[in-house]
Amino acid sequence: MGIRKLALAGALAVASMSAFYTSACAEDVKITVWSLDRDIQPAPNLIKDFNNLKTGITVEYRQIQFDDVVSEAMRAYSTGQAPDIIAVDNPEHALFSSRGAFLDLTDMIAQSSVVKPANYYPGPLKSVMWKDRYFGIPKATNTIALYYNKDMFKAKGLDPDKPPQTWDELVDTARKLTDPAKNVYGITFSAKANEEGTFQFLPWAQMGGGGYDKINAPGTVKALEIWKTIIDEKLASRDTLTRSQWDSTGTFNSGNAAMAISGPWELDRMVKEAKFDWGVALLPLPEPGAKRSSAMGDFNWAIFANTKHPKEAFKVLEYFVSQDNRMFKDFGQLPARSDLAIPPTGQPLKDAGLKVFQEQLKYAQPRGPHPAWPKISKAIQDAIQAALTGQMSAQEALDQADQKIKAVLG
């Protein structure tokens, strides 16, 4: 606490000094930006570069913690102290835009030579939309795919260049790869009772022909039954129910799971930690030729509706967008754009994996967008957990979730 207070006092001192300085020398427009990016992540670095350009706009940055983004933003907005620009997690975007807290950027985007909707993957773009208007710009994106241990595939007589294509193949492969004597599970993923569980399950639901608005579709029920088979037959650890994606993939890296479902944020750690040959494959489908789908994660930029400088704030966003080609090289994040070619990193496993993720991103779908997304998500998490613990059948659990979601959707 002491350090925090000191840091706060220091920040205040610096802020008041710089405020004095700016007002003394030039009438720069001041834009404040809030995001959760740390010093090695995009926002603070892009802002530093932007300020060095001396465009007559000075950007001030404040880092907020992941858990505080929404509550801090809401508090600030309702007391009239909101920043000009904020980065919010994509499923929470609609909560703000539906209530008019975010500025409608549609007209500015139409006139912009930098921000072009056609350049974006459809999933991330949809997440900034509300009633066919744009209320933000995707900041970065990610999705999930299937990592697999090629060495283990070879050891069990499986073709390392033919990862499972369908759900049934996935279960079959997991059965073959599971080796309790060696402490190896066939697969690892996350069914945790938080947003991560929803994030991992929704792609399966969507591939099965369902979605959050029809969560008890037959294909979705089958997806949950497959998950249950995987847990019941001990093809994945029971701790899948309480483990995060990051921790689950950790067991893959240490050779205790032969396959893992997770996102591109794992690439760097895997290159460092995994002492085996691995590959990435698209998420398996319910049957060959079925419609692909995947999850869509990461944050969006938005401008608060009560900003005094909407034009300048949009200029700042345009600058961020113009730097999208640096996202992967400098910060390890995927830009939400399909028009940018990401240059190879020189790390063959990582580059191969990246290609698959870029392919998978074409099918990524946002969660929602709906202003009451957390409630919808909670209903889905409860259903997953009720079915996997055997307290309800997959059908019952998803029927119950459907009722809860229908009540939210109205």
* Percentages of the chain per state (helix, strand, coil), in multiples of 5: 50, 15, 35
Q: CB 140 → another protein: shortest distance, Å? A: 23
In three-state form (DSSP H/G/I as H, E/B as E, the rest C), the secondary structure along 205-218 is HHHCCCECCECCCH
The dihedral region occupied by 132, where left means phi > 0, alpha psi between -120 and 50, and beta the remainder, is left
Q: Which stretch binds another protein (CB under 8 A): 16-24, 83-91, 133-141, 375-383?
A: 375-383
Q: CB 230 → another protein: shortest distance, Å? A: 14
List Cβ neighbours of 343 (8 Å cut-off, separation of 6 or more): 329
Contact flag: residue 386 with another protein (CB under 8 A): yes
Smaller CB separation from another protein, 16 or 81: 81
Contact flag: residue 193 with another protein (CB under 8 A): yes
Per-residue burial over 6-24, b if 16 or more Cβ lie within 10 Å, else e, is eeeeeeeeeeeeeeeeeee
Contact flag: residue 308 with another protein (CB under 8 A): no
- Is 120:336 a contact under the CB 8 Å cutoff? yes
Q: CB 311 → another protein: shortest distance, Å? A: 26
Contact flag: residue 313 with another protein (CB under 8 A): no
Per rule CB under 8 A, count of chain residues that contact another protein = 33
The helix/strand/coil state of 337 is strand
Single residue of 32, 200, 220, 240 touching another protein by CB under 8 A: 240
Q: Which stretch binds another protein (CB under 8 A): 32-40, 144-152, 231-239, 294-302?
A: 231-239
Q: What is the distance between the alpha carbons of residues 396 and 148, in angstroms, rounded to a whole number?
A: 32
Smaller CB separation from another protein, 336 or 383: 383
Contact flag: residue 71 with another protein (CB under 8 A): yes
Contact flag: residue 103 with another protein (CB under 8 A): no
Helical (H) or strand (E) element with 106? helix 106-111
Q: What is the distance between the alpha carbons of residues 138 and 141, in angstroms, rounded to a whole number?
A: 7
**Sign of the dihedral through C-alpha 102, 107, 110, 111:** negative
Single residue of 51, 74, 322, 342 touching another protein by CB under 8 A: 74
| Residue 120 DSSP class | B
**Site mask, another protein, residues 75-94, x = CB under 8 A?**
x-xxx---------------
- Is 177:152 a contact under the CB 8 Å cutoff? yes
Q: CB 1 → another protein: shortest distance, Å? A: 12
Q: Which stretch binds another protein (CB under 8 A): 111-119, 189-197, 209-217, 321-329?
A: 189-197
Single residue of 382, 395, 396, 399 touching another protein by CB under 8 A: 382
Contact flag: residue 406 with another protein (CB under 8 A): no
Per DSSP, what are the bridge partners of residue 334?
141
Judged by CB under 8 A, the chain residues 9 through 68 that form the site for another protein are: 67
Q: Which stretch binds another protein (CB under 8 A): 153-161, 190-198, 216-224, 351-359?
A: 190-198
- Is 142:344 a contact under the CB 8 Å cutoff? no
Q: In the sheet that 145-149 helps form, which strands lie side by side, from edge to edge?
A: 259-262, 145-149, 278-281
Contact flag: residue 101 with another protein (CB under 8 A): yes
Sites of contact with another protein (CB under 8 A): 67, 70-71, 74-75, 77-79, 95, 99, 101, 183, 185, 192-194, 237-242, 251, 256, 374-375, 378, 382, 385-386, 388-389, 391
